[in-house]
Amino acid sequence: MRLGLAAVLLAVGCSVHAPRRGDALAPTIRLGPDRTAVAYDDPREADKRVLLDRINRDRAAAGLPPLRYEPRASLVGDLFCLDAALGGFWGHWDNLGRPPFVRWGLSGGVDFHAQNSAAISSSDGTTERPVLALMLETHQAMMDEKPPKDGHRRTILQPEYTHVGIGVAVAGGEFRLTQEFTRVAFEWIEIPSKPLVAGATATFAGRPLAGWEVGAVEIRHEPPPRPLSARQLRRLGSYGYPNLVHTLTDFAVDGTGAVSVQFRLSEGPGHYFVLCFVGNRMRPELGLTPATAAMITALP
């Protein structure tokens, strides 16, 4: 069994590049509360509901609120797991070189996201045990981790997450499982409706749920992916969100609490991620934690 670590790197720093005057802003799309209700006819939904119940029992034992099921995240996980099982690789990246947050963004996901990943390979090329038993076994292995090597367990017990999707696939003797955690802390999020050209000005807007307010916004840049061989994929370990390029602390906030920012796609082609850090007005001691991972693509 090989287990990967979903670590999130949240450094702060760097300078802001202001948009040029006269830039034409691209059309946007607004994603509201229905973004967590994508229809997915999941053939393994019954098994996933059992694992969801186990996850929530573990969270309840730690005094944490339950997670709701996220069908979009489950579909993203299923596609990745099937690709990994057929290709005989494991970890977090796919064979096109895309990390979890890029696949999540390509699916239309805009909320903060983190992934646990697990794999079991059978030497005789067959999987005889029930899939549900393998799902529960790999989850328990994550929960049994001990500090400091307990990244999976800490991800499962992260208080801020609100939803989870579950990906699973079996191909021959290859079993793959992912847990796709998300945090819904915004009523709506608005991003460009299509890819932009590198160097253009991008816009982002969103309104946090009641009780939350945005304290900082980070812009991070992921270069265009490059295909990876199965051998390269097997050697990759944990992952984090990409390099920080802007930290925005001076942004517009309207009377409803909605924020809006503009920034230049200054790092060239690739994927830019808008990470909004929110704080709870009633519990300032909690500090700021990430709530979005909205992706904006820049073409050459």
pLDDT at 234: 81
The answer to whether 164 and 179 are in contact (CB under 8 A) is yes
Name which of 65, 67, 77, 84 is nearest 109 in CA terms: 77
**Is residue 42 pLDDT above 60, yes or no?**
yes
The per-residue pLDDT for range 213-268, each reduced to its tens digit, is 999 999 999 999 999 998 888 888 889 999 999 998 889 999 999 999 999 999 99
Helix axis angle, 45-61 relative to 131-143, nearest 10°? 20
The answer to whether 251 and 16 are in contact (CB under 8 A) is no
How many Å apart are CA 212 and CA 186, to the nearest integer? 9
The answer to whether 178 and 115 are in contact (CB under 8 A) is yes
pLDDT at 282: 81
pLDDT at 22: 44
pLDDT at 170: 96
The per-residue DSSP string of the chain comes to -EEE-B-----------PPPTTPPPPPEEEE-GGGG------TTHHHHHHHHHHHHHHHHHTT-PPPEE-HHHHHHHHHHHHHHHHHT--SS--TTS--HHHHHHHTT--BEEEEEEEEEE-TTS---S-HHHHHHHHHHHHHT--TTS-HHHHHHT-TT--EEEEEEEEETTEEEEEEEEEE--EEEEEEESS-EETTSEEEEEEEEPTTEEEEEEEEEEEPPP----HHHHHH---B---EEEEEE---EE-TTS-EEEEEE-TT-SEEEEEEEEEEETT-GGG--EE-B-EEEEEE-
pLDDT at 23: 56
- Other Cβ atoms closer than 10 A to 142: 21
Q: Which residue has the higher pLDDT, 4 or 55?
A: 55
**C-alpha atoms less than 13 angstroms from C-alpha of 166 in its C-beta half-sphere:** 25
The per-residue pLDDT for range 105-151, each reduced to its tens digit, is 999 999 999 999 999 998 787 888 999 999 999 999 999 999 999 99
The per-residue pLDDT for range 44-98, each reduced to its tens digit, is 999 999 999 999 999 999 999 999 999 999 999 999 999 999 999 999 999 999 9
Quick one: pLDDT band at residue 20, thresholds 50, 70, 90? very low
- Other Cβ atoms closer than 10 A to 247: 17
Q: Taking the model in full, what pTM does it have?
A: 0.90
For residue 65, the one-letter residue type is: P
pLDDT at 231: 84
**Is residue 7 pLDDT above 60, yes or no?**
no
Name which of 166, 151, 176 is nearest 240 in CA terms: 151
Residue partners of 236: CB distance under 8 A and separation at least 6: 91, 92, 93, 228
